[in-house]
Amino acid sequence: MSTDKTDKKELLNGTLDLLILKTLDTMGALHGYAIARRLEQMAASVMRLSQGSIYPALVRLEQNGWIATRWGISETNRKVKFYSLTKAGTKRLHVEVANWEQATALVARVLGAKA
């Protein structure tokens, strides 16, 4: 077990996309900063998201057609881009959840295997 205080938890490849899609499905349209803070809140301070990770994921999700964007005004009266889930994004979310459940079931079986 690592005791290094600088040891931050990293998300598995593709997990951030799943978390963003689920957040938008649950919360509705949000701007990027609000998405990042919501994910950190749900992670109970186990992870911290930087702009260097959240915004490339949002661009990727938009390019795939899974989220849509519109400009609006934030709660701090700033012009920001709001992200929302598309129909294709909802379908993709269901696929990603099923894939995640299969993967975690496999890991649980392997970790629980007796010699």
Beta-bridge partners for 30: 83
| Residues in contact with 39: Cβ distance below 8 Å, sequence separation at least 6, in sequence order | 19, 20, 23, 47, 49
Q: What is the pLDDT of residues 9-51, one digit of tens each?
A: 555 667 899 999 999 999 999 999 999 989 988 888 677 777 6
Instruction: Report the number of distinct structural domains present in the chain.
Output: 1
Asked if residue 38 belongs to a domain, the reply is yes
CA pseudo-torsion sign 56, 63, 82, 22: negative
Question: Is the torsion defined by CA of 66, 59, 79, 51 positive or negative?
Answer: positive
Residue 44 counted as domain residue: yes
d(CA 67, CA 29): 10
Does a structural domain hold residue 5?
A: no
Question: Residue 19 domain-assigned?
Answer: yes
Decide if 6 is inside a domain. no
Q: Is residue 10 part of a domain?
A: no
Q: CATH number for the domain including 51?
A: 1.10.10.10
The reported pTM is 0.82
pLDDT tops 60 at residue 62? yes
Checking if the pLDDT of 58 tops 90, the result is yes
Domain that residue 38 falls in: 15-112
Q: What pLDDT does 100 receive? A: 93
